[in-house]
Amino acid sequence: MQEITTYLAPHRLDEALQAMADADATVLCGGTDLAPQTESGARRYQAKLLNIRRVQGLGAIDTTGAEIRIGATTSVAAIRRHAALAAIAPVLAEAAEHFASEQIRNAASLGGNLCNASPAGDLSPPLLVLGAAAELACWRGGAVQTRRVPLDQFFVGPGKTVRRADELLTAVVFERPAADFVCRFRKAGPRPALEISTVSLAVGARRAGGRLADVRVALGSVAPTPLRARRVEHALEGKGLDAASIAAAVEAASEDARPIDDVRASAWYRGHLVRVFVEEVLNELRRD
């Protein structure tokens, strides 16, 4: 039997981190993943239930500096309606737009979506193409210690990240994209709402003089973790968008994606969708 002995809803980060120091806390924020996972028995509660939704400073979006910062308890709805963030990183706003339903978007948090580490997590591909890092904090030696992990090293498997049990994801940070940054997000599922992506794709790059630079491409639902499509990136880096470079990128996508058969789609279909999406998105960017 699992037994929760303590419930905490602290207002300060140091209090939250001290509660996690013994690595015996289940973190609660929106509850949209935690509730069904614990109800179904897929996940067990730890001795402490730690509600971080009231921790001050964790729910803020800061777009004013050279570094963009989104607090971990920020709801998906807040990301979706943040005009400055949408102007800076439309790929993230687009993913938030197609995230679950309004009721879920109002409750679900950015940090929860990332720490749940679903291969299909909708916010992961856009944040990967923005070059984001996860900020992790813990309580050590009587003080708050933080470290940053690039998001492409954060996920290690379905439901697994490098976050230690005494660490809290406090924010996601990324460098302000350059003025010539272009980006796109695409996801597929049998219906637009409440769909766990069959395949998702995000593309971001700088475009100057007709050529792409700093190309980042990320795929969801085609591997045990959301991943950077390094071969696609390599096929596009320094190239203009034309029939030849797009065809090369499509071929590379088949090498990057490692889809499996599951209840939502066959590996064959996912592999096909990846090719279609890469071609469609690159053609869209080409026409812009």
Which residues are near other proteins by CB under 8 A? 1-7, 9, 28, 30-32, 35-36, 38-39, 45, 49, 51, 53, 77, 100-104, 106-107, 192-194
Task: Name the 3-class secondary structure at 260.
Answer: coil
Instruction: Tell me whether residue 82 or residue 207 sits nearer to other proteins (CB atom).
Output: 82
Q: Are strands 67-71 and 160-161 parallel, antiparallel or unpaired?
A: unpaired
Instruction: Tell me whether residue 78 or residue 217 sits nearer to other proteins (CB atom).
Output: 78
Task: Give the CA distances from residue 38 to residues 58, 103, 225, in Å, rounded to whole numbers and listed in that order.
Answer: 24, 20, 22
Nearest to 255 by CA among 278, 226, 229: 229
Q: What is the number of other CB atoms lying within 10 angstroms of the CB of residue 266?
A: 13
CA distance 283 to 82: 28
Instruction: Tell me whether residue 115 or residue 285 sits nearer to other proteins (CB atom).
Output: 115
> Whole-number minimum distance, CB 109 to other proteins, in Å?
12
Instruction: Tell me whether residue 192 or residue 209 sits nearer to other proteins (CB atom).
Output: 192
Largest CA distance in the chain: 63
> Whole-number minimum distance, CB 76 to other proteins, in Å?
12
> Whole-number minimum distance, CB 170 to other proteins, in Å?
19
Contact yes or no for 200/274 (Cβ under 8 A): no
CA distance 240 to 207: 9
Instruction: Tell me whether residue 53 or residue 234 sits nearer to other proteins (CB atom).
Output: 53
> Whole-number minimum distance, CB 269 to other proteins, in Å?
22
Structure token pair of residue 65: 């500096």
Instruction: Tell me whether residue 106 or residue 254 sits nearer to other proteins (CB atom).
Output: 106
> Whole-number minimum distance, CB 41 to other proteins, in Å?
10
Contact yes or no for 102/126 (Cβ under 8 A): no
> Whole-number minimum distance, CB 184 to other proteins, in Å?
20
Instruction: Tell me whether residue 198 or residue 225 sits nearer to other proteins (CB atom).
Output: 198
Structure token pair of residue 199: 């395949």
CA distance 287 to 31: 41
> Whole-number minimum distance, CB 79 to other proteins, in Å?
14
